[in-house]
Amino acid sequence: MTTKNMTGASILWECLEREGVTTVFGYPGGAILPAYDALKGSKIHHILVRHEQGATHMADGYARASGKVGVAVATSGPGATNMVTGIATAMLDSSPIVCITGQVGSKLIGSDAFQETDITGVTLPITKHNYLVTHASEVARTVREAFYVARSGRPGPVLIDITKDAQQTTAEFDWDAAKPQLPGYRPDLSPEKKEYEQALELIHNSKRPVILAGHGIIISGAMNEVRDFAERTGIPVALTLLGLGAFPASHPLNLGMMGMHGEAWVNHTIQEADLLLAFGMRFDDRVTGNLKTYASNAKKIHIEIDPAEINKNVKVDVPLVGDLREVLHELLPHVESIDRSEWLDSIDKLKGDAAVRDIQNLPDSGHLYAAHVINDLWRETRDVETVVVTDVGQHQMWEAQYYKHEKARSLITSGGLGTMGFALPAAIGAKVARPEAEVWVVVGDGGFQMTLCELATIVQEKLKVNIAIINNGFLGMVRQWQEFFYERNYAATPLLNPDFAKLGEAYGIKSMTVSGRSQVVPSVHQAQQHDGPVLINFRVEQEDTVYPMVAAGASLHEMIRRPSKIVETAGDE
């Protein structure tokens, strides 16, 4: 192995290249300047963001769209603290990103120097692991470890804080491509034989089983295995929000999304099940509702890579701790085909009057509903490789309900942290990761304004990203909660918005406003045909509500449904 004397800054870029990094998202500043100075000698493309939060969401979107590690770079102090929201978002959704921050000189640490923050201290609870590097000689090993930790086991964000002097001084560069030596780190657990046997027994003895498909399926790349498993056993599949795309929406065994805004019959199915097979999901409170009444007659098998998730929210009968894909490979040869037609028929009956209540099936009243926009968007993009990146709120739930995801990594959304402002920057990351895909941002008017500065990044990088603003003039989901639980006191939820189309034009982005149902499809076509970014401001019904809804703390089967009187009124029009 050749060694050569290099600055810490040059070692950093060299190591990133060797980790397969081709693009980083960042924002320069004093404490990271040596690294930026050394960037000119690197093959890595640097994308200048407009806010460091954007850089982290871009790295996150990049990671989720590609399955690779995303990288964000920032300076010390405010640069680093601006990353906190993006890091927490990646942590809760198990997204592998590496954040690199500059730090003041090692001799200044602790002196409250200009732009000094203890960012390793700040990010301790929201990173999988973090490092403070004070010597150039530590850079290579740290980068190697950081990438290994970020992507292995249950993935997550890792932060590397590098002092200015560690970037400036030199060290022998010695790259060790071997797996890093981390004696305390065990990402590769696997279940015991006895646990497999117990799981198989439960599966074969169950009459009313349901698979709960989560994000872990996508992370471990187990889509085919899950499909094989479902088909071979005849077990229907309900999905979490982050699981959408892990199992094809059009598959006959697909039930759809479960949980707070899941379809009523999906939640009823789970409540009536005698066995839940949790595949790479963590029984989040948005999925279970009241734990005391959650699937109380069901045995539970939990296949999960993180042992700390076992029995955290829901007590399970058989835990299978390990990589989902590997665990399913073990299970698949032993599962028996069982006739489940009785169970599947009874689920069909649970669908009941769902279609009548569906806003899609109401006659055109002249109003534009978000559901129509999403559904049209799905119809017009279903035949091309599309990545939809949503923000957080009502539009996110309508997207989950009305966009039928067939493939993994075709939906990118902030599930665990529910980060408003996520969509626009995350879509930039997704487009960089998959330039051949048609990337759509579906964003509310509230969340859009949190990170809209990144429009400039889109233009500067000449990225073909289509933006659909679902503009209802409200912080819609908060308004919905106020409607249900705060006696319609719409405190601080109405938004006075700018003219988004003019705003888009100010950035040099082709922009339009759509307020009629018949204009939706033509506007989507225009966006598809234009070779630059396009912004469409969809002015939708102001006080529409996401149904069904399980109120926080309520039981999963106690859903608030779309009132039948609205169905009747609308039917009269």
Partner 1 sequence: MLNTYVVYVENKPGVLTRVASLFRRRAFNIDSLTVGRTEKPEVSRMTITVDADHDQARRIEANLYKLVNVLLVENITNQPAIIRDLAMIKVAATHDARSHVLELASVFRARVVDVAPDSLTIEITGAEDKIDGLLEVLRPYGVLEMVRTGIVAMRRGKSSTTAATTSTGADVTEEDVSHSV
From 14, 52, 225, 380, the catalytic residue: 52
Of these, 5, 17, 110, 182, which contacts partner 1 (CB under 8 A)?
A: 182
Partnered with residue 213 across adjacent β-strands are 239, 279
Of these, 72, 100, 132, 305, which contacts partner 1 (CB under 8 A)?
A: 132
Asked if 129 is part of the footprint of partner 1 (rule: CB under 8 A), the reply reads yes
Return d(Cα 497, Cα 200) in angstroms, integer: 56
User: Does the annotation count 529 as an active-site position?
Assistant: no
User: Does the annotation count 164 as an active-site position?
Assistant: yes
CB of 216 to partner 1, least distance (A): 16
CB of 124 to partner 1, least distance (A): 5
Torsion of CA 263, 265, 268, 270, to 10 degrees: -80
Asked if 186 is part of the footprint of partner 1 (rule: CB under 8 A), the reply reads yes
Return d(Cα 376, Cα 442) in angstroms, integer: 13
From 260, 397, 420, 477, the catalytic residue: 477
Binding mask 276-315 for partner 1 (x = CB under 8 A): ------------------------------xxx-xxx--x
Amino acid of residue 15:
C
CB of 337 to partner 1, least distance (A): 35
Please provide the DSSP assignment of 316-348 as one string. -SEEEES-HHHHHHHHGGGPPP---HHHHHHHH
Asked if 184 is part of the footprint of partner 1 (rule: CB under 8 A), the reply reads yes
Return d(Cα 240, Cα 126) in angstroms, integer: 22
Asked if 268 is part of the footprint of partner 1 (rule: CB under 8 A), the reply reads no
CB of 112 to partner 1, least distance (A): 19
Please, which contacts does 492-495 make with residues 24 or more away whose CB atoms are closer than 8 Å? 495/445, 495/446, 495/449
CB of 120 to partner 1, least distance (A): 7
Phi, psi values for residue 237, rounded to 5°? -120, 125
> How many residues sit close enough to partner 1 to count as binding (CB under 8 A)?
20
Amino acid of residue 120:
T
Binding mask 142-181 for partner 1 (x = CB under 8 A): -------x--------------------------------
From 4, 114, 201, 360, the catalytic residue: 114
Q: Are 109 and 103 in contact (CB under 8 A)?
A: yes
Query: Footprint of partner 1 on residues 106-125 (CB under 8 A)?
Result: 120-121, 124-125
Asked if 185 is part of the footprint of partner 1 (rule: CB under 8 A), the reply reads yes
From 83, 91, 145, 164, the catalytic residue: 164
- The residue (of 118 and 358) whose beta carbon lies closer to partner 1 is 118
Question: Which tokens sit at 236?
Answer: 């229907």
Return d(Cα 375, Cα 439) in angstroms, integer: 16
What lies within 8 Å, CB to CB, of 31 at 6+ separation is: 75, 76, 77, 79, 101, 102, 103, 104, 115, 163, 164
User: Does the annotation count 326 as an active-site position?
Assistant: no
Helix axes 52-66, 423-433, angle to 10 degrees: 50
- The residue (of 311 and 489) whose beta carbon lies closer to partner 1 is 311
The separation between the first and the last C-alpha atoms of the chain, rounded to the nearest angstrom, is 78
CB of 185 to partner 1, least distance (A): 5
Residues that bind partner 1 (CB under 8 A): 120-121, 124-125, 128-129, 132, 149, 182-186, 306-308, 310-312, 315
| Active site members | 52, 114-115, 164, 477
